[in-house]
Structure 1
């Protein structure tokens, strides 16, 4: 599976999104009351360790180029990660992931607000449908802090995706990911120390869960890199939404979380307009054969082909 053909790229995205869901499963295995700040700190350190073998792709002479933007994105990433842990710990797996998929809709809105981009009628429909879809999924009567955390995680994804435009264009994906996690370490370490001082005991299983989560989310990043490097995004990006299918299947089989009609209807309201946008872009794109020149080394994420380093 090289990702050099549309079919192989789609298969990579399907498998990659399954790996991302396995990462979510590890997080969901955290016990109630587990030290989530310690988890975030450990996952940052472990991810950095896994990235070290790829250090040759890091421009050491300009390691901190774009430092200000990287620092802001790193701390937003940390907030989003903590929100994701809260959401996955308290919401059904499929419900949390359905809310995460509102991120590309938020990107559309943020792009209009900060970059004066115009929305097509289909994009406007996606924004409105997605908004009401989230209301249907969460239902006002069930709205709680976990639901707010899920929305916070989606917002963090969206903000980080929009801010990618401000990063240096010549930085590799490994460089961006490494710097992102490196700049998360001080804040996450201080939060973990504060949590420990407040009486949170060290739990060895948190280390294993953080390692498992980090491994599978990095495997996801590798698959999307391969998928998008030489195939047009608009040809395959709709395959990313198979992540919601994986979330339903794994939640049903592993956690006995049976989706109801509210979830199914709301999910369709969120995902279908986004898929239609992708299909519309694919229809408008000029036909072309295999392009031997690799695309910019940018991964996407689970929230619908967002940009590098935004996967939580």
Structure 2
């Protein structure tokens, strides 16, 4: 465990907060692109443009090619991100932005059970309470959705986001390991490159050239995503996960604002209450489990 003082974590915390704000902005841009182009083309073209940007940065810095161990983690994370990203953005096109972000907050609680599977840990009473709060939060959001007026396929959007959250829980573990062994430029380069190649394999069946008016948004989404990822990786390399994971919940604030501004999405009381329950469960985990950062590192050693 690190003995760093809270003040020494401030630059890392600031970087992660800014990165999360940027990522919420990217989510808003991508929601618009998904509605205009469909999930596959929105993600494929954004990733392709992002890969060009990441490659230019990676080779400009003359980074050494990673070793076999790092490449293995990059490949696993790329595959996880490929499926995770598609599920999330496909779902985001079918549910309000703030609601989609709120449902994704279940990921840290899912990570508890992944620790059981990967490390053979025993879940304590506080972890069980946290899980129950998280499940209750998801139920409240779902009940609120059933009582409101939503698109007929909204339930599939919810299912897709929850599936994405399951993969994101594992991605958090991989993210912490990569932050310790790879630079931000390397992580962005390999993530965008691997995901782009996987989407490219499907291009003969699904790819379509976007209209000219969509390209500024595609480029903006790629640039914002790259900046966001580099900021978050930079922060995770300089502070333990236990000090940073709870910052994820600030994304809900940005999602609510951006959803209201650009998509005329009102945030329901059910979403607020459900989010509060999920966040409460995650904070119990953060406060009661000071060994969390060590667990994350051990899980991927």
Partner of 1:207: 215
User: What does residue range 26-175 of structure 1 map to in structure 2 within 5 Å?
Assistant: 26-30=29-33, 32=35, 34-51=37-54, 52-55=56-59, 56=61, 58-60=63-65, 62=66, 65=69, 67-139=71-143, 141=146, 144-163=155-174, 170-175=181-186
Deviation at 1:216, TM superposition (A): 1.5
User: Which consecutive residues of structure 1, in runs of 5 or more, have no partner in the other structure?
Assistant: 286-294, 296-305, 308-312
1:54-88 Cα deviation digits (max 9, x unpaired) = 3336432x466555553343222111111122122
In structure 1, distance between residues paired with 2:276 and 2:192: 34
In structure 2, distance between residues paired with 1:57 and 1:225: 19
In structure 1, distance between residues paired with 2:175 and 2:156: 29
> Secondary structure, in 3 states, of the residue corresponding to 1:211?
helix
CA gap of 1:172–1:149, structure 2 versus 1, over 3 A, is: same
Deviates further, 228-237 or 116-125: 228-237
In structure 2, distance between residues paired with 1:58 and 1:273: 40
Deviation at 1:264, TM superposition (A): 1.2
User: Which consecutive residues of structure 2, in runs of 5 or more, have no partner in the other structure?
Assistant: 1-5
In structure 2, distance between residues paired with 1:68 and 1:147: 31
TM-score scaled by structure 1? 0.77
1:213-239 Cα deviation digits (max 9, x unpaired) = 222122222333443444444345433
Number of residue pairs matched?
281
Is this contact kept in 2: 1:6–1:236, CA < 8 A?
A: no
CA gap of 1:205–1:5, structure 2 versus 1, over 3 A, is: farther
Partner of 2:271: 263
Partner of 1:250: 258
Deviates further, 146-155 or 13-22: 13-22
CA gap of 1:123–1:28, structure 2 versus 1, over 3 A, is: same
Which structure features the higher share of helix residues? 2
Cα root mean square deviation, aligned: 3.2
TM-score scaled by structure 2? 0.79
